[in-house]
Structure 1
Amino acid sequence: MKAPEGPGFINLLASLEQGLGSAKALNPEPPLATLPPEVVAGYRHVVVWLIDGFALDYLAYAPSLRADLALQLETVFPSTTASAITSLFTGMSPAQHGLLGWQTYLPQQDRTLTVLPARETDHAGHSVALSSKSLNARIHPLPLVNRLSRKSTIVSPAQIAHSPYNRLMSGCARVIGYDDLEQLPALLGAHVRSVGQAPHYTYLYWSHLDHLGHECGPSSPEVREHLAAIDATYARMCGELLGTDTLLLTTTDHGMRAVNQRLDLRQAPAVCACLRHPLTGEPRAALAHVRPGRHRQFRHAMEAHFGNRVEIIAMADWLSGNAFGTGIAHPELQARAGDYLLLPDEDSYLVNPAGDDAGPCFLGAHGGLTRAEREIPLFRRSLRHAS
């Protein structure tokens, strides 16, 4: 079984990896035909702004960004931040870096890793924070910036800029934290002008839109209001960067879709009895690790409790189609992926909280294969000359 095919986020990363002068290209996919590496290499400064959770449907509320829409891409699978951002930081597909969603099963530790907040959880739901050293021992990242011929800067919200995950993924890059969206145009303009004439790469991240999509829903007034603020920031950012010989690429890690049906695995004890580990992955793309000899029982219990609300796909079929991407697979990919991929229907999401944890409640979600989750925009603006 294969995931949808088309110009992809991973092809954009190939354009960046090669165009920014990677000493060792780890991404086997071809660059975007509309953004060849020589075009990227021709700019003194390349800025990539990733706006977490920017769905294609949001274009209606962002006219400045919409005017610079260059391409529609397909993001990685699963269509989620932990997988896609790690791909951007490393230049590698999820199959290569091995982080398969918000939560990833670690077979050596027999624990669940929630990589972005750097926490590890046992079967009973007991969670501990990981230091940068411990997290590094779990994921062994290969930061893209360490392979580039040009210097790099990572610009992130202050609360996560120096987190264990960000510290590892930032590699040799300079790290800048900031507090508010409104700061970005002046901060970025000053930064680009301060680095001099040497070629430079800057990655910029903004996360609040994704939070609003989850909590309020993708069609909510809160999301629309924030999109207006993002769009105004983009217009000001372009003004600040005029004449700096900058290529500004703005994109996202995944889309967002409205959901209204919460499926709680704890209400299906016959299913839980078949699992050797709590579900990992994503609520819209869950990974099931099943006890030996319980596979038939697991499938029957899933069908009896959830009916056709959850599609059950044997992981062997999924992996054979390179659905997590191409390249040399992570040595633990098969063990981390488990036995089955569970895909809820378009309106549903599946949770499996442990212990006293109530688990997430969403009005918007992502991670799956629908257009709203998988297809993403790429915006492009050349700021080579002052107007």
Structure 2
Amino acid sequence: MYADYENSIVNLASSILKYFGAKSEHNTLEYVDELLKDEYKNVVVILLDGLGIDALQHHLAENSFFRKHLIKEYSSVFPSTTTSATTSLESGLTPLEHGWLGWSLYFSELDKVVNAFINTEKDTDTQAADYHVASKYIPYKSIYQKIKDAGMANAFSVSKFGSNKIESFNELTNEITRLCATSEKKYIYGYWENPDLLMHETGCYSSEVTEIINKLQNKLEVMCEKLSDTLVIVTADHGHCNLKNYILTDYPKLFKMLKHPISIETRAIAFHIKDEFLNDFPIEFKSSFKNEFLLLSKKEVIENNICGNGKMHPKFEEFIGDYLAIAISDKGIVYSKDSNQFISNHAGMTEQEMKIPIIAIGMK
């Protein structure tokens, strides 16, 4: 399933920007615009990491709070992963435009693969530099700043690393409730790391995941009962699928073709290939992995708008490498035995990963 950049998390950001009088680069979601016609004082978007449509249907009863208020299924971006999707929501830009494509990105300035959010070198705890590499080379203007600059409202980010920092989900709901009680018009974005964190460790269909999704749902229902003049939208950045990983060091013919370690994600893998192997690589890759991945050249990625439309970021071509392998089955590829291997993961193109919900609760 390809990302639908007319019905995606990018377009949700566009609707938010439009509502608060700020310029947006992409089309809005008409069904969200319709909800916003009620002129709410507070607009709250809560993103529960990994809560795709598949998880919603598997773990929650049909008459549950979330499923009763589900108004639409829509699309993540590609790669369907936290780094790219949350940056799209926090910028209003496609991955093609903002450049934050995945967990690890190759930066020629350092000749290193860097974990973009946490600023460490790939598969290590070593700091990549004495400055934040991704923020320096792929900065963007946030949706919060765009809303503030428009002059109609304030904007806040509530998370472990947002403008309003919290450490627990109870603190998150309490802080959102507190902000909603103030008189000013505002946008609030709340981010929480589960169920994604637990899915990685226990699998996407475990009883532990069922329990945590139900707990999060119940806490948000209680929060909504306390609010007025507020639209709450609950969504996700991507879904999940259980998988098994191939280890690239087990494929010496492919391994010797690499200029650098693989990057982006285990289910959206960028390969930077030595010049003498550029023609041989796709043949050897397809021989090794058959039809479990869609292998695209850099040119094909760009021509097919895989990562969205708009003005291409200057770093984009470097980040996607010479070839991009996209998971379309239940497999991933890690670099070596030292690489993290999760039970469940995302970033590929299956419906499980790409389909996400818009759950809307309006309180006047």
Same fold (TM over 0.5): yes
Instruction: Report SS of the residue matched to 2:73.
Output: strand
How much has 1:132 moved relative to structure 2? 5.8
Question: Does the alignment pair 1:270 with 2:273?
Answer: no
Number of matched pairs: 356
2:222 aligned residue: 236
Q: Aligned partners of 1:147 and 1:57: how far apart in 2?
A: 33
Q: After TM superposition, where is structure 1 displaced by more than 4 Å over at least 4 residues in a row?
A: 1-6, 129-135
1:192 aligned residue: 180
Pairing of 1:165-244 with structure 2 (within 5 A): 175-193=163-181, 195-196=182-183, 198-241=184-227, 243=228
Q: Aligned partners of 1:96 and 1:54: how far apart in 2?
A: 25
Q: Aligned partners of 1:57 and 1:295: how far apart in 2?
A: 38
Question: Does the alignment pair 1:65 with 2:49?
Answer: no
Q: Is the 8 A contact 1:16 1:37 kept in 2?
A: no
Pairing of 1:243-254 with structure 2 (within 5 A): 243=228, 245-254=229-238
Instruction: Report SS of the residue matched to 2:338.
Output: coil
Q: Is the 8 A contact 2:154 2:185 kept in 1?
A: yes
1:144 aligned residue: 143
Q: Aligned partners of 1:126 and 1:214: how far apart in 2?
A: 19
2:275 aligned residue: 292
Of 301-310 and 334-343, the range deviating more from structure 2: 301-310
Q: Is the 8 A contact 1:19 1:37 kept in 2?
A: no
Question: Does the alignment pair 1:116 with 2:95?
Answer: no
Q: Aligned partners of 1:39 and 1:310: how far apart in 2?
A: 40
Counterpart of 1:302, as a letter, is: F
Of 125-134 and 296-305, the range deviating more from structure 2: 125-134
How much has 1:41 moved relative to structure 2? 8.3
Q: Aligned partners of 1:374 and 1:131: how far apart in 2?
A: 35
Q: Aligned partners of 2:360 and 2:44: how far apart in 1?
A: 10
Q: Is the 8 A contact 1:2 1:318 kept in 2?
A: no
Q: CA separation of 1:135/1:288 partners in 2, compared to 1, >3 Å: closer, same or farther? A: closer
Q: Is the 8 A contact 1:19 1:38 kept in 2?
A: no
2:102 aligned residue: 101
Of 247-256 and 112-121, the range deviating more from structure 2: 112-121
Deviations 1:288-337, CA, capped at 9 Å, x for gaps: 11111211222233233333333322121121011111111101211221
TM-score by length of 2: 0.91
Pairing of 1:278-357 with structure 2 (within 5 A): 278-353=261-336
1:54 aligned residue: 51
How much has 1:131 moved relative to structure 2? 5.5
Q: Is the 8 A contact 2:6 2:27 kept in 1?
A: no
User: How large is the Cα RMSD of the aligned pairs?
Assistant: 2.2
Unaligned runs of 5+ in 2: none
Instruction: Report SS of the residue matched to 1:255.
Output: coil
Q: CA separation of 1:34/1:113 partners in 2, compared to 1, >3 Å: closer, same or farther? A: same
Counterpart of 2:343, as a letter, is: L
Instruction: Report SS of the residue matched to 1:152.
Output: strand
Q: Which of these residues, 149, 152, 157, is aligned with residue 154 of structure 1?
A: 157
Unaligned runs of 5+ in 1: 167-174
Q: Aligned partners of 1:372 and 1:271: how far apart in 2?
A: 29
How much has 1:200 moved relative to structure 2? 0.8
Counterpart of 1:156, as a letter, is: S
Counterpart of 1:247, as a letter, is: L
How much has 1:127 moved relative to structure 2? 3.2
How much has 1:350 moved relative to structure 2? 0.7
Q: Is the 8 A contact 1:258 1:364 kept in 2?
A: yes
Q: CA separation of 1:309/1:116 partners in 2, compared to 1, >3 Å: closer, same or farther? A: same
Q: CA separation of 1:72/1:93 partners in 2, compared to 1, >3 Å: closer, same or farther? A: same
Q: Aligned partners of 1:308 and 1:269: how far apart in 2?
A: 20
TM-score by length of 1: 0.86
Q: CA separation of 1:248/1:85 partners in 2, compared to 1, >3 Å: closer, same or farther? A: same
Q: Is the 8 A contact 2:13 2:91 kept in 1?
A: no
Q: Aligned partners of 2:290 and 2:32: how far apart in 1?
A: 45
2:36 aligned residue: 39
Instruction: Report SS of the residue matched to 1:88.
Output: helix
Q: Is the 8 A contact 1:184 1:233 kept in 2?
A: no
Deviations 1:131-175, CA, capped at 9 Å, x for gaps: 666543222221121111321111103xxx2xxxx5xxxxxxxx2
